[in-house]
């Protein structure tokens, strides 16, 4: 009797470990060339003060220092031209009829009656400068400033210039030698009302020293430019200027109310 052959156990195939296929290398995205920087819209830099507080002198100094960056808004006025004034540089001198037509047609950003004369800011040239990224300097009174707030508040930075004393204000008006005594007295009376509006401004500078007042003005302008461009104050000089500008903010000067009250009493 034949013996049954033993069946050999089936060999199981060992799983062969295969190396994972190398992942295809991704190409680095092409670097985009930086486009042109977005131009900052210009700002309306407003200076106001009672007559004789030094606003016009500070305006001239700022324009000399910022020749390529700041344009002066040339106002139209119905008042007579003074001997030292130049048409198109200081004002555009027009008659009352033309002034009223411009106001009626909306060609003026702001306008007001000051000392019995009409003053106003033509709209078209200002908008052209702002769109080009240039700052526009306004030498206007509180009435014009409030009107600018109404039509263009985000674009406006306002500064009120105070005299250090009533005596200094009188002396500066007398030194002009361009106004007669009657006009000087009218300007002093109007100053009492004009001083009442210092609270409506972003910054206040006391002009007791012209150079110091100018440095404060420059610091304010530079700080506002940095803020609108999204830049921080880096470097010792920039931080010092930023601190100076912050100290000129109206709400950081609690002593101003007492000074203005004294000025009004003395005038």
pLDDT by residue (tens digit) across 178-204?
A: 678 888 888 899 999 999 999 999 999
Residue 102 has pLDDT above 70, yes or no: yes
16 located within any domain: no
Residue 10 has pLDDT above 70, yes or no: no
Q: Assign 257 a pLDDT band (cuts: 50, 70, 90).
A: very high
| Residue 243 domain flag | yes
* Residue 118 included in any domain: no
Alpha-helical (H) ranges within the chain are 55-65, 96-104, 123-131, 142-152, 166-176, 181-195, 210-229, 236-247, 256-266
In a domain, 17, yes or no: no
Predicted local confidence at residue 199, as pLDDT: 96
pLDDT one-digit tens code per residue, 155-167: 999 999 999 999 9
On whether residue 94 sits in a domain, the answer given is no
pLDDT tens per residue across span 199-246: 999 999 999 999 999 999 999 999 999 999 988 888 998 999 999 999
Residue 232 lies in a domain: yes
Q: Is residue 262 part of a domain?
A: yes
**CATH number for 165:** 3.40.50.300
Using alpha carbons only, what angle is made at residue 74 by residues 72 and 77, rounded to the nearest 5 degrees?
Answer: 150
Q: Which helix (H) or strand (E) segment is 110 a member of?
A: strand 108-114
Q: Which domain holds residue 220?
A: 44-73+135-266
Residue 102 lies in a domain: no
Q: What does pLDDT average to over the chain?
A: 88
Contacting residues for 158 by C-beta, under 8 A, at least 6 apart: 46, 48, 145, 200, 201, 202, 203
Q: Domain total for the chain?
A: 1
Name the band, by pLDDT with cuts 50, 70 and 90, for residue 48: very high
Residue 9: the pLDDT is 58
């Amino acid at each position: 009797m034949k013996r049954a052959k033993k069946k050999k156990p089936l060999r199981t195939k060992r799983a062969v470990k295969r190396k994972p296929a190398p992942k295809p290398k991704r190409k680095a995205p092409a670097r985009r060339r930086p486009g042109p920087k977005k131009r900052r819209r210009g700002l309306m830099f407003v200076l106001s003060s009672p007559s004789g507080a030094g606003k016009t002198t500070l305006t001239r100094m700022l324009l000399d220092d910022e020749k390529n960056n700041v344009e002066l808004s040339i106002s139209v006025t119905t008042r007579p031209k003074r001997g030292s004034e130049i048409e198109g540089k200081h004002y555009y001198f027009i008659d009352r009829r033309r002034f009223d037509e411009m106001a009626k047609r909306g060609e003026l950003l702001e306008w007001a009656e000051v000392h019995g004369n009409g003053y106003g800011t033509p709209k078209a040239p200002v908008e052209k400068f702002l769109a080009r990224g240039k700052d526009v300097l306004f030498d206007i009174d509180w009435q014009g400033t409030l009107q600018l707030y109404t039509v263009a508040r985000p674009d406006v930075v306002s500064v009120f210039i105070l005299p250090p004393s009533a005596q200094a204000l009188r002396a500066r008006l007398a030194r002009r030698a361009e106004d007669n005594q009657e006009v000087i007295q009218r300007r002093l009376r109007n100053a009492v009302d004009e001083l009442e509006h210092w609270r409506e401004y972003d910054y206040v500078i006391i002009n007791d020293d012209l150079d110091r007042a100018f440095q404060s003005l420059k610091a304010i302008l530079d700080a506002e430019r940095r803020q609108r461009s999204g830049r921080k104050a880096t470097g010792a000089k920039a931080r010092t200027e930023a601190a100076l500008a912050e100290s000129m903010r109206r709400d950081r000067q609690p002593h101003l109310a007492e000074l203005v009250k004294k000025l009004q009493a003395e005038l």
